[in-house]
Every structure is written in structure tokens, then in C-alpha cells.
Structure 1
Amino acid sequence: MYETNYHRAGSLDEAASLFAKADDPKFLGGGQTLLATMKQRLAAPTDLIDLAHIPEMHGICENPDTIVIGATTTHAEVAASGIVQARLPGLAKLASGIGDPAVRHVGTIGGSIANNDPAADYPAGLMALGATITTNKRSLPADAFFTGMFETALEDDEVVLSVTFPVAEKSAYAKYPNPASRYAMAGVFVARHGDGSVRVAVTGAGQDGVFRSAEMEAALSANWSPDAVAEISVDAENLLADIHGSAAYRANLVTVMAKRAVVAAG
């Protein structure tokens, strides 16, 4: 790891000031990706600005129609939250399956979505639930936030403060994890909303990261049943292929995971 300066910000104003003064700074959420990248000498920020101790960025708040989760809330806290388990069980299940216990107790929802790893779990949950990301500058719908593999709409000095989730009528997540990393080789989040609309988001399989399946959404809107998606296959031409599985293999996994997610949602 290259030499870096560590700063523990106590407020958003302090974090912004530290960022402005540094030559090549990076904001630090849980650090589960950034620190590993630095250890491999693939990243060398001059300054790390830790956001984990800013009070207003942490916690879970319940409203009549939404749940707001602070950006520095850990995966373990989301998974264990009675509020999330009762009102968005699919999101609680998703958080409980991220990495291993060590990762879940340090990694944060804000850090995960800001990094936008193509195999991360949270992007599928945010997109299927129609979440809104609030930053220190603006609010963005999930569909506009995720722009490509490891890419988001965030500006360099922009910080994710919280994520607001509409409470869905039904929600569930199913993934096929890589046996070693626990990253999704294909993960599908399904959500049926109170107005009857259905959103289906896929992670782990797309060449450009998370994406929605319009065909599955239409089929499930007409018939909320695993049979409705059983014969639907996403285009393998746009899917990832690596040593763990071909594009065609991932296309089949997407269909299987979509069926399982609908069964889990009930």
C-alpha cells in the first residue's frame, strides 16, 4: 500500500473541507473495496476521508410509505433491522447474504452503491424498489444513479447521505453466489408495488452492471407467478462471460433466480 493520510471527519462540512484541501482525496465508507484496491497498489489516494462517524449519515428511519437508510449504515444493521425485515423483507434478505460476517459488519450501503461493482447486491435492490439516493447536492432516482460498470452519476466531491426506499407490497431477492467471494454471478430482485407495477432488476450478469428486465416486468404485472418468467431469457450477448461462467450460463441463471425470487416474495 502506498502512503496516505487518514482523516476522520466529524461532520459533512469537515469532510467537504478536507476533500477540497487534498491533492487526490477519496471518501471512505466501509472500505471493503477501496482498502483492498489500495493494498494491491491499484489506487493511491493522497488522503482518505472517513465518513463513518458523521451522525446524520447513519441509521434507519421508518415513515408511513418509505424507509430511509443512512449511507454509513452497515449491511449487518440492515439485515438485522426489524423495520426492514417487516416492511421490505427482500432488502433484509439481500443484506444478510452480502459477503461474510466480517464484511457485513463493516461494509456500508452508501459505500456499496457508490462503488457500483457489477456483481454487488444492493444496486438490484435499489433499482427494483425504485429507491431515491440523496447526496449532499441533490436527489437521484436509482435508474439515473447507476450509469455503468463501476460508474455512477456521482461527482468527485459528492457524498451519498441516505437512500429512501418506497415500501413495496411484495419484495424478494435471489442470487447465485460465487462460492469463494459470495459476489452474485446472477442476482434478481423482484418487487410488486402498491399501484400494481412490477420492477425486476438483475445484478452480477450484465456487462454494464445492474439492469432491469422489461419483459419480466410485463409478464409479472400480468401474472404474478414464477411460471410467468419461466420461459423468458435475457439476451446473452449483453452478459458477462468469465472463468466462472459463460454468458449463456448467466442468462439461464437470471431466469432461475427470477423464478426463485417470485416464489420467495409469495
Structure 2
Amino acid sequence: MANTIQAIINLVSNPKLELVEYYNSRHRANSEGGSLEEYIKDLYAGTLYELDEEKRKKLINNVFSYIGNDSNPPDAMIRYGDAIEVKKIESSKADIQLNSSYPKCQIESTSSMISRACKDAEEGNWTKDLLYVVGQVKNKQLRSIFMVYGEDYAASDDTYLGVKQDIKKWIASMGELEFEETEELGRINMIDSLGITKLRVRGMWILQNPWKVFSYVTTLDTSKKFEFCAIINEMKYKSFPEHAELEHLVSSINTLEIQDIKIKNPNDSKLDIKAKMIRFYL
């Protein structure tokens, strides 16, 4: 079954760093961000070196129950597995633009922020852990990848929804303006005397990238051709049957290491969470 540990095994066993030329030559994507998403799908589906496009599509469709769009998270959902959100940065110091979607630990079928196609991708009500995959692309080359689950990275929904509700209340209390509830922060109607102008109020969430967030346990070595890092809490890590296979690879791949670490609890920075840190470089 496809999962994050298996994807990491696929990466470290036979890494490929070319993005735009590789994918554009096969008519899959016309931007570095789109190419990065295709690359991550290939890591999970084991199709990184598959040249038969029809076979590749079939394998990817078997692995993923949903492939996303530019407007709604997530970017992909593993069939009966995790959800994945891919973000591209150009610098290890750059922030991640989340736009109207605040950071999440999980994706639920009942969420108002996902598309109908996403809700219906799997039967019944479902909840999926959300994995953030942050790729640094420079000069059309993949320079680094950082994988981290939302539960190890973002606070609970209440933290962000509380701020959102406070802003909505503040806007609604502003004088004689006509405020209308929306899925975003809201809309202000009847702004001019003819009542023909409206103002859409939308939140633009920005998140520090994980190389910055977890700088207290690891740093990016910019002298390396490529660096990979994954931080996964111990319970989630051990839930993957393939973790023993990955650990076995450490003895044969000298640039691969797995460390026991402690990370800060996103809901209380005074508390620690036991986690595994997987590092690989070229």
C-alpha cells in the first residue's frame, strides 16, 4: 500500500532531481509548482521512472482516490490513506503562501473548504491526516524536500478558527456597513449609494516553512546538491509497516540517517513530542 515511508524509500533508493525538463518533455506540467506536484505523485505511486504514460496514469489512479486543483486543498489523497498538500518555495527562508486555507492537521469530508469531488472521492464520512510536502526548486532543479504531518506542524483548528471569527465579528460591527457571511471572512454589500459595489474580504494565511520551524533540531546545508528531511511523530511513524525496511536501508545508504528527536507540541510549545527525523542528501 502506498504511504509516506514507501515514498521515502522510493526517493532514497533511486533519486531523481530534474523537474521542469523531465515533466514538460512528457506534457504533464507547465510550471515548477505543477512539476513538483507530479514528482510527488510519482514518488508515492512508484512511477518516477515509468516511461509509459498510460501505465503511469493507471498506477497513479490506483494509488490516489483524489487529485486536487489549484483552488482547494488537498493536492492529493491516497486511497484510504493520508492527504497530501504540496508547496513550492524558491528559498529555504521563504514562507509558504496558504492563501484562504489556514494550516490543518487533518482533512475531513465534512469540511467546507474542500471541493465536492474531494468529499465524494471515498465513501462515507472520512478523516485523513494531512502531510505537508515542501519542495525547494531553484533553476529548475529540486534542491530540497521537507515532509511533515500537520499534527506535528500546525495547531488545532480552534486556534485559527478563533482568530477568523474574531475578525468577522469586528468587520460586522463596523458602522452602517451591510455585512454578509461567506466561507471566507465575509462580504460587505451596498457600499455606494446605488448599492452596486461589494467588497470581498478574504484571509491570506502565511506559514513559516518547516526548515525554519524546525531549525532547533535540523538545518539545511546549502552546500549539498539535494537534501531531504522528514519529521514524523513516533506513533505515526510506527503505524507504517515499511518503517523497518527504511531502517534497514540506513546500513547500505551512507547519506541516509534516522534519528530519535523531540519536537515542540504545536498546541503548547512547553510540551515535547517524540518523533523520528529522516535525513538524506546528495
Normalised-by-shorter TM-score class: under 0.3
Query: More strand per residue: 1 or 2?
Result: 2
TM-score, normalised with respect to structure 2: 0.26
Query: More helix per residue: 1 or 2?
Result: 1
- CA radius of gyration, larger in: 2
TM-score, normalised with respect to structure 1: 0.28
